[in-house]
Chain A
Amino acid sequence: MSIKLPQSKSLFFTQILIYVILCMLIAGLVIIPICTEWYDAVSGQKPIATILNICGYLCDVIGFVAIIQLHHLLNNIRKQEIFTEKSVTCLRVISWCCFGIAIICGVLGFWRSLAWLITFAAGFFGMLMCVLKNVFSLAVELRQENDYTI
């Protein structure tokens, strides 16, 4: 059985999730050093707390940018300004952020191979966003053509 949420409700829930993630990212600024210390102790490998901290903070900042862009994109969708240049820019920035995280985790993978899983996930998501950006870009072109058809 499938549950269909009205568009406004799905938007509402997604925005709530965005706020939750934003809070997590802000909290991350404090929690990251604690988490890296804990992970270093648990992993049983050579401690690399500094590298983990640097990567963690970089990912946190990039994630923050991506979430803000996602928030703007959802606001555009709510205002019925879906196929606009602004939405394309949001998607482009989100895809760059995903690739940025993929690169950071790719480098971290040389110390902790588990990070390559995040590289794969972020890279895959970045590619998806890139495809979506191209679709939106095409839709913007079509809309403009339609607007200028008299």
Chain B
Amino acid sequence: MPIVVNLDVMMAKRKISAGDLAERIEITPANLSILKNNKAKAVRFSTLEALCEALDCQPGDLLAYTKEDQPE
């Protein structure tokens, strides 16, 4: 998928564990793992809002677009 979720980078910057973040934004650790591992097919605005609030960042800090044919 060309949209990459940089949640792990942001979590490392803010020094917050997955469990803590999941608890703070009120989603299950399993769902957070799906999001963190780029397995999610869509993200609700409410989840994005909660993530931005918990990590004190902008949506652009969490999401990035990469062209599919572009080598990583």
Contact = CB atoms under 8 A, between A and B. Distances in A.
Interface of A: 144-145, 148-150
B52 to A, nearest CB: 14
A149 B39 contact: no
Which 10 pairs show the lowest CB-CB distances between chains A and B? A148-B41, A149-B42, A150-B35, A150-B31, A150-B40, A145-B41, A148-B40, A150-B47, A150-B43, A150-B34
Interface residues of B, number: 12
B9 interface: no
A148 to B, nearest CB: 4
A24 B27 CA distance: 53
Contacts of B27: 150
Interface in B11-67: 27, 31-32, 34-35, 39-44, 47
Contacts of A144: 41
A149 B27 CA distance: 12
Contacts of B35: 150
A129 B15 CA distance: 54
Nearest to B31: A150
Nearest to A144: B41
A144 B42 CA distance: 11
Contacts of B41: 144-145, 148-149
Nearest to A145: B41
Q: Which of A144, A145, A149 has the most CB of B within 10 A?
A: A149
